[in-house]
Each structure stands twice: as C-alpha cells, then as structure tokens.
Amino acid sequence: MNWAYWNPVRVRFGTGLFDELGQLIGGRRWALVTYDQPIFRDLSARLAKAAGAPVVTISNIETNPDCSDLVESCRQFSAAADAPEVIVALGGGSMIDAAKVLAASGGDFETVRRHLVDKRPLDADAIIPIIAVPTTAGTGSEVTSWATVWDSANGSKYSLAHPRLYPETAVLDPALTVAAPRGLTLATGLDALSHALESIWNVNGNPVSANYAVEAAREIIDTLPTLLDGLGDVDLRARQMRASLLAGLAFSNTKTALAHNISYDITLKSGTIHGIACSFSLPIVMRWATGVQPQCDAALRRVFGADLDAGAERLEAFLKNLGVRTDPAAYDITPSEWDRLVDKAMQGERGRNFIGRLPAKAA
C-alpha cells in the first residue's frame, strides 16, 4: 500500500492563545472576517488593540457562505484603501471558508465563480495567507485547503480547493468556544465525528489519517454528551476542540465521503443544519462500509470494539441519545427518494471517496 500525508498548517493550541494573534499578524496589513455580533465585536476590539486596526472588516456572512453574499464580501474586500497582506478569520467554519474565498478572489468573486463553475485555474501567487481562529469545535476548516461555497439560488454546492488555501496558522483557543450554545455545540461536534469516521471508510485513507480519525472519534463519543450537560467547562471544551482538530487533520488528506454527499441535498432542501445532516446517516453508512476493506474494519474496531454490527448499533444509540433522529423518514425523505438521493450521492465528488457497497434495495 502506497500512501502519503501532508499538512502545512502551523497549529497553536491552548487557552489564552487569542492574545498571541497580534504577534502572528506581525505588523502586516490585515483584514478581519468575523460575525457582526457583540461577543465578536469585543474580540475584534481586543485584537485591534494588539495589532492595530484592520484595513477592512468583512461581517456580512452568517452561516453557509452563499454566492449572493460572497459577491458583496469581495466588493468590500477590494474597497480597502490599502490591500490586505493577511486575513484573520475569527469565527466558525463559515468564517474560515469565507476567508478562503476572499483570499483566492483578488477582490472579485467572479474569479472564484469562474474557477468553481468553469474550472479556470486560480492564480496561486495572488492567494493571500490566512490566520484561522475557530470559535467552534467541528468544521476542521482551520487545517484544510478547501471551503464550502453554496449557491442556494441554483440549488448547488461547490468546494473551493487549492493547496495555497491551507491557513498559514491555526490558533485554537478553547476559551473562545465556551459561548457556543448547546445546539451549535452539538451540530459542530457531530460534524467533527462525521469527518473522523468518513476519513476511515475512505479510498484516500492512510495510516496517519486513520490514527488521527480513531483518536478523534473515540474522544468525541466520550466527551460530547458530557460537554452538552456542562457547556461552561473549559476542560471539556478543550477535549472537544482537540478532537475536532484531529478529525480535521484526518480528513484534510482524505476529504469526506458518502454521508457528507448525502447531506448536501438535505441541507439545500430543508435547511437542516450541516452537522445534523451529515451525521444522522452515519450508522447506515457504517453498515455499508463494514467488511469491505481490512484496514477500515481494523480502524473501526479501535473505535467501536470487535463486533462492528454492535458498533453500528452503539453509534445509532449515541446519536439518538443526543436527540438526533437517524431514520431518513424523520427528514421527510420517502424510501424511494432515499434510494434516489443515495444513488446520486454515490456519483458525487465526495460519494466517490466511499469504499463501501450498497445493498441492492439502495443501489
């Protein structure tokens, strides 16, 4: 088996490391991508005191960066009196994804659109470096080279990807996640679990990604239920953030697989939050993955124990105990629609990463 693993992101992890950001900016002209919310305005003021004011602040993105909003983000970015030399993304995965779009855009979203739709290459030399500061524990975008871009008007989802879009530095300060409410903590935590498991049943899996994924999945299954009952516990927040990071390091090399591809249509159709949409089907997908590849089974046994059928039952019970419904019917998907959706997902970019075999009724 030939394999390779590479991730160039410098990771800084620890409570209080937000205060290092001024040094990491290092006197460069910087742009800030963040939320227009009180807690983020306070954090932005702290950062400006340490690093000087940003040349531009982009705060028109909330969740799921959409083409319609990114056009305006790029316009604001290009209007800065002085061109930014680095972008600081402060927030959840949506902020980091939006920062990657800005970094690649040259201030014109049309550059990104042509790349996504018409497959025109990006100018690697024009991509601006990013410092990623996640305030949730789930997306792993701080250690990946791609960003999710939604086109809700046309019912489409794209993945912007380029090696230069790996952030130069990821600053993971667990204290920044304490304010995340229960629903967001649950959804992002399950997104991280999906990243971990989907990097295991993946055609691009390798021993390094598997080790990261196994540790991440075990930690999330152990930590997340307790964290949801103690949202203010910084130690639990740190464990969950570390697990999310490990899952990110795993799927930064494999990308996701079938469960994520299934989720895209569900999110576009019903607005189901991403972390739920990509995790409710994990027990189903795990059953399809079991028994196909020895390396995959071995990694899954390190998470769930020797009996993988029982492991899938345990995973389903874990999700149900967190209030996540695992039956597609709960998401208004009929059996025939489910078969069609799965078949479509198997042909998708992420679905083609899945190693498993579908039962005849879902083929």
Domain stop point among 175, 201, 223: 175
Give the whole-angstrom CA distance, residue 102 versus residue 127.
9
Q: Which of 175, 191, 216 is the last residue of a domain?
A: 175
The whole-model pTM stands at 0.95
Q: What is the pLDDT of residue 361?
A: 60
CATH number, domain of 279, equals 1.20.1090.10
Same domain, 230 and 256: yes
The boundaries of the domain holding residue 126 are 10-175
Say if residue 56 is in the same domain as residue 136: yes
Report d(CA 215, CA 147) in Å as an integer. Answer: 24
Residue 4: inside a domain: no
Do residues 192 and 146 share a domain? no
The whole-angstrom distance between residue 191's C-alpha and the CA centroid of its chain comes to 7
The C-alpha atoms of residue 294 and residue 275 are separated, in whole angstroms, by 28
Q: Mark whether 211 and 109 lie in a shared domain.
A: no
Asked whether residue 41 is assigned to any structural domain, the reply reads yes
What DSSP line would sit under 104-130, residue for residue? HHTT-HHHHHHHHHH-PPP-GGGPPPE
Q: What span, in angstroms and rounded, lies between the C-alpha atoms of 252 and 243?
A: 14
Domain boundary among 142, 175, 208: 175
How many domains are there within the chain? 2
**2 inside domain:** no
Report pLDDT digits (tens) over 66-93: 999 999 999 999 999 999 999 999 999 9
Do residues 22 and 75 both lie within one domain? yes
Residues 334 and 202 both lie in one domain: yes
Successive 10-residue mean pLDDT values, the chain, 363 residues: 94 97 98 97 97 98 93 97 97 97 97 96 97 97 96 91 98 98 98 98 98 98 98 98 98 97 91 96 98 97 98 98 97 95 94 89 50
